[in-house]
Amino acid sequence: MARQLRVEYTGAIYHVMDRGHRREWIFMDDADRQRFVETLGEDCAKTDWQVHAYVLMPNRIHLVVETKQPNRVAGMKGLLGIDTSRCNRRPKLFVHLFSGRSKSLIVDGSGSGYLKSVGDYVHLNLARAKRVAADAPLKSFGWN
């Protein structure tokens, strides 16, 4: 059975999610996360994306991105491919970082408040996964 087509259009906002291959960790340390953020910045410059929210958890990523061109698929392919290549430059390391095609949901950015709800959901993943203490501010995690 063929894969479902990806919906892309000018000005779309997406909640994009991906997890580690076999649910393994994507980020082993802060250097991995910093490399990903730098790669994301480079990819945004190439694709003309705007990032509204993101969180980099050890075994998954969540991004809320707005695309000015219908290029989400190509942009994610580039982002995840380049990040994996950079990770595999380490000595004695060759891994599949990501589980495959990223999942994406279209976000209604019409002013109905849904974009804010999605941003809250993305950031509150940290609390649900117990990556920050219940009484600690989310910014104490640092990678969101």
**Per-residue pLDDT for 142 more than 70?**
no
At 137 the pLDDT is 66
The encoded tokens of residue 34 equal 């910093």
| pLDDT (tens digit per residue) in 30-56 | 888 898 899 999 999 999 999 999 998
At 98 the pLDDT is 60
| pLDDT (tens digit per residue) in 7-22 | 889 999 999 988 877 6
At 22 the pLDDT is 67
> What are the residues whose beta carbons fall under 8 Å from the beta carbon of 92, sequence distance 6 or more?
none
At 94 the pLDDT is 57
Other Cβ atoms less than 10 A from the Cβ of 82: the count is 16
Q: Which residues on neighbouring strands pair with residue 54, listed in sequence order? A: 63
| Count of alpha carbons within 13 angstroms of residue 120, beta-carbon side | 5
| Segments of the chain assigned E as strands | 13-19, 49-57, 60-67, 103-107
Confidence category of residue 140, pLDDT binned at 50, 70, 90: low
The encoded tokens of residue 121 equal 């959901």
Structural domains of the chain, ranges and CATH numbers in brackets: 13-140 (3.30.70.1290)
| pLDDT (tens digit per residue) in 55-106 | 988 888 899 999 999 999 888 888 877 776 766 666 565 565 566 667 788 8
At 134 the pLDDT is 64
